[in-house]
Amino acid sequence: MGFCFHTLPSFSEVLKEIKSKLRPTKSNALNTRRLALPEEFCCRFSLADIKAATNNFHKNMIIAEGDTGFIFGGKISDGFYAIKRLRQTSDSHLPLLELRYGVKFLSQLHHPNIISLLGYCDEKEEMIHVYEYANNGSLYDNLHAENDDPIPWKRRLEICISVARALHYLHTGAKFVLIHRDVSSKNILLDDQWTSKLCNFSFCKRGPHSMSRDPISIEIESDIAYTSAFIAPEVAITGRVSHKTDVFSFGVVLFEVLCCRRIFDAELEMHQRFLYRWACKCIENGTIYSIIDPYLKGKIAPQCLKKFLEIAYSCVQFEENKRPTMGEVEVTLELALESQKQAESEMESTNPQGEFMREEVSLSCTP
């Protein structure tokens, strides 16, 4: 799941130490102005620093491969960090756009469930981000790894709640509404305390002022690639996104967490290929228990499962106005967790080795 390290200095301590060693050059100043970055929030690293940290981008230092580049593990000062080297494309502007927008947004976001950005490098055609390191890997890796212990149900709920809080913050807590546009289990990282960290703000889009009552509907660039199984219907149909686009994608993640199945599997029958569609049909038919993660069977309290399914189902509704806000999603998941804790406490006092009965689950979801 990643490397294990001893206690590391805090992000702010390392940032302060690195800044004290950086000597701004004329070139640095030009690049900083070009990217319009606030110096107090973000450092510009030299390519020499990055190469030293990654052993000249040696393949053995790669800890993950993202959709837009490789992620290396590397030591900078006294800390270990994730260093994302953006992949060059036929369109030379795309890596620069990802660098610019990723740094611009992340350098101004402050939330415990959003990955912290330490700095960047844009020297000699290289496009590089330096992030805090989450040593338990991505949610995707943990859900689908064959040789690791499954994630317990309550921990899965806590992870989902934390991501919901991060998205709620993006939609309402910042100065402007921010739409992530790429919510997926691969973009949810887990640190050594299993705290979730939403990452990859490459395609993030800014909406109106968060206090504005203007409708949130933004036209997007046609050349941006999405993970098709996470795309909300309106994105494919109209080419526009809103905060409800993120809600839809998060709903897909919820079903992935519950069922521990890949969100798209071309080897399955047509009606089962998209996990969220299959799960919704099972909810409507009263057969959802048949496709949840076998590890979880008997471990989920009926009332908890009911709340979880109802909110997941509502998140992936075809019509945007039928989907909840992320604030509503967050509250419902918290209630589901409380139901689980209460049910486990009651069972512990009566039958410590018992399991929850699946027959007790009664859902009222309708298409």
User: How many other CB atoms are there within 10 angstroms of residue 215's CB atom?
Assistant: 9
In this structure, what are the phi and psi dihedrals at residue 181, rounded to the nearest 5 degrees?
Answer: 75, 0
> The tokens of 161 are what?
């709640």
The pair phi, psi for residue 149, each rounded to 5°, is -70, 140
Give how far Cα 226 sits from Cα of 49, 67, 109, 163, Å.
32, 10, 23, 19
**What burial class does residue 356 get, using C-beta atoms within 10 Å of its C-beta: 0-12 exposed, 13-18 middle, 19+ buried?**
buried
Q: What residues are annotated to the active site? A: 182
Burial of 57 (0-12, 13-18, 19+ CB in 10 A): middle
Cα–Cα dist 142/152, whole Å: 11
Separation CA 367–CA 352 (nearest Å) = 38
